[in-house]
Structure 1
Amino acid sequence: MNVEMRYLHAFRVVCEAGSLRAGAGILHRTEQAVSYQLRKLEEALGMPVFQRSNGRLTPNAAGERLLAFCREMGRDWDRLREEIRASESPSPPLRISAVSGFGRYQLLPLFLEGPLADVPIRMRYPTAEEVVRHVETGVSDLGFVHRMDPHERLSHIPLGTEEIVLIAAARLSQSPALDVESLRDATYVTYDESDYVFATWFTQALGMNLTHCNVASHFEELEEVLEWVAAGRGVSIVPAACINDHAARGDLMALRKPGRPCQNTIYAVLDPARHHVAIERTLQVVRKHAQF
């Protein structure tokens, strides 16, 4: 059986219009042309689909079943059309703001060659306060910070942890002792996010916070911090993932107090009122790869 789609369309229009004349007007065809299509449909089916009375066409039992099929087919066609449109419309880039240590060294690799490589992104590395402000004002769709600052509108979702380590130049003849006296006298290289990171490490590793440090140099970003420490210009405290390349080259070493690793929680910052199709997938991948 070969039933042309135009016959089914004409059948549905006439049924819903209630008469051949009304259906022909909707289809912009003559009544004779529409009548011909209906006859060809009935010939293909091998049975009548209308009750004909006083110029009106009313679907019979077979016609009612055929009409239900036509309507369901129309809904399937609409769904298919929307799916095709959605697949052809590229998703807007996912705008992310993340603190530098986590963003550059743990988050970005997931988008570069990892499981999120197909997601287009716009990445920024501001301070934690600016990350929250970017999400709050709509500059970014998603944020990542290393501390939770309560907010009346934004959500902070814990995703995992990062290890924080004290770092020193690998070429030092003697590495700093991990005790209060030695570390109080050490010279430090600091950066914009270091106050919170230093306090977290001192509290977990030493059981107390050193409120005053001898600062040799200060930078905005971690790259300069790592270079300065590798050159023997001081020590610093950074996320462990930051030093992998330097440690592999033998420039830096991470100092850990046995039995007292320092872990810091990473939070995703979201505005529940905004949505991007890639957010949930991104959170699932980050949660899977973060240590928690």
Structure 2
Amino acid sequence: MNVEMRYLHTFRVVCEAGSLRAASSVLHRTEQAVSYQLRKLEEALGMPVFQRGNGRLTPNAAGERLLAFCRDMGRDWEKLHEEIRDTAASEPPLRISSVSGFGRYQLLPLFRDGPLADIPIRMRYPTAEDVVRHVESGAADIGFVHRMDTHERLSHTPVGKEEIVLITSARSQPAPFLDIESLRHEEYVTYDESDYVFATWFMQIVGTNMTRLNAVAHFEELEEVLDWVAAGRGVSIVPASCMVDHEAQGDVMALRKPGAACHNTIYAVLDPARHHAAIERTLQVVREHAQL
């Protein structure tokens, strides 16, 4: 049995919020995305964990036990990180937590075969909310997110920009028009970070956010989104850096409105109370390569 940690976090938030709508607000995701993660959790467990009815999600007996486990695990996880920090070597690997689009397609190449290749790293790609949580708890030395959230202790420093584009299959005829009425009728492929990305693109390109979309598929990873779009199963809105290879292969194409490119700011998330020798150099290189 393999249960994703993010599913357990979503389960706990839903239990404490009492409904999909309330939980989606806390998690900054659509109700569809939250429901998807609950379904995957129950599939992995092989049993339901909620009593469903009257618009509320109440944990059943199995769910109550799982909720207690999640709360205990949260406390144990924080304690474990404290112990790891206390026993770490003087120059441990730089622990990086980054949203997937920026982390996989812009940040990782800098460490793989770029100017930061000599720095040992541990990198992971959670949601923006979990990136902040990792830096807050000390599980990451530095985080990278695509939105600025107010935090009483952590700093959010602009370090770069990424272009966001609407993509469709290269075989789609005709290509979608970039006007509000045409876009209302498109079928969209969504992903875990798509709520904020979609809203940013709609506001910059058409001047309003479209909260009701015809979502035909939802995935966790951008690669699955790109494959679905390439197959002609819908359109999506993604960071331009992630679709370069697919575009070069002739699988997908980006649709840009002349004179109205959409850009999103990338922020480095830091805890002023913690330090790693490689942070300043990393920030300098990221700024040089991320078009700030």
**Normalising by structure 2, what TM-score?**
0.69
Distance in 2 between residues matched to 1:148 and 1:203, nearest whole Å: 17
Match of 1:136, SS?
Answer: helix
Instruction: Give per-residue Cα distances to partners, 1:10-42, cap 9 Å, x unaligned.
Output: xxxxxxxxxxxxxxxxxxxxxxxxxxxxxxxxx
In structure 2, the residue matched to 1:276 is: 276
Distance in 1 between residues matched to 2:90 and 2:114, nearest whole Å: 20
* Aligned residue type for 2:187: T
In structure 1, the residue matched to 2:22 is: none
> How far 1:149 sits from its partner (Å)?
0.3
In structure 1, the residue matched to 2:103 is: 103
Distance in 2 between residues matched to 1:282 and 1:91, nearest whole Å: 15
Distance in 1 between residues matched to 2:176 and 2:260, nearest whole Å: 17
Instruction: Give per-residue Cα distances to partners, 1:191-225, cap 9 Å, x unaligned.
Output: 00000000000000001111110000001111100
Distance in 1 between residues matched to 2:108 and 2:177, nearest whole Å: 34
* 2:214 is the counterpart of 1:204: no
Alignment of 1:103-122 (within 5 A): 103-122=103-122
In structure 1, the residue matched to 2:260 is: 260
Match of 2:129, SS?
Answer: helix
Distance in 2 between residues matched to 1:202 and 1:172, nearest whole Å: 21
Where in structure 1 are there 5+ consecutive unaligned residues?
Answer: 1-88
Alignment of 1:1-292 (within 5 A): 91-292=91-292
Distance in 2 between residues matched to 1:209 and 1:271, nearest whole Å: 32
Distance in 1 between residues matched to 2:259 and 2:212, nearest whole Å: 26
Distance in 1 between residues matched to 2:122 and 2:256, nearest whole Å: 35
* Aligned residue type for 1:97: S
Distance in 2 between residues matched to 1:214 and 1:166, nearest whole Å: 15
Match of 1:156, SS?
Answer: strand
Match of 1:183, SS?
Answer: helix
* Aligned residue type for 1:140: A
In structure 1, the residue matched to 2:56 is: none
Where in structure 2 are there 5+ consecutive unaligned residues?
Answer: 1-88
Match of 2:215, SS?
Answer: strand
> How far 1:90 sits from its partner (Å)?
7.7
* Aligned residue type for 2:249: R
Instruction: Give per-residue Cα distances to partners, 1:143-202, cap 9 Å, x unaligned.
Output: 000000010000100011100000000011211010111100000000000000000000
Distance in 2 between residues matched to 1:244 and 1:219, nearest whole Å: 19
In structure 1, the residue matched to 2:25 is: none
> What stretches of structure 1 move > 4 A for 4+ residues in a row?
none
Distance in 2 between residues matched to 1:115 and 1:225, nearest whole Å: 30
Match of 1:162, SS?
Answer: strand
Distance in 1 between residues matched to 2:90 and 2:185, nearest whole Å: 56
**Over aligned residue pairs, what C-alpha RMSD do you find?**
0.9
Match of 2:232, SS?
Answer: coil
Instruction: Give per-residue Cα distances to partners, 1:78-101, cap 9 Å, x unaligned.
Output: xxxxxxxxxxx8831100000000
Distance in 2 between residues matched to 1:290 and 1:218, nearest whole Å: 28
In structure 1, the residue matched to 2:65 is: none
**Normalising by structure 1, what TM-score?**
0.69
Match of 1:116, SS?
Answer: coil
* Aligned residue type for 2:163: E
Distance in 1 between residues matched to 2:290 and 2:261, nearest whole Å: 16
Distance in 2 between residues matched to 1:289 and 1:222, nearest whole Å: 22
Distance in 2 between residues matched to 1:145 and 1:90, nearest whole Å: 27
Distance in 2 between residues matched to 1:154 and 1:91, nearest whole Å: 22
Distance in 1 between residues matched to 2:141 and 2:186, nearest whole Å: 41
> What fraction of aligned residue pairs are identical, expressed as a percent?
75
> How far 1:291 sits from its partner (Å)?
1.2
Distance in 2 between residues matched to 1:192 and 1:114, nearest whole Å: 28
Distance in 2 between residues matched to 1:211 and 1:106, nearest whole Å: 29
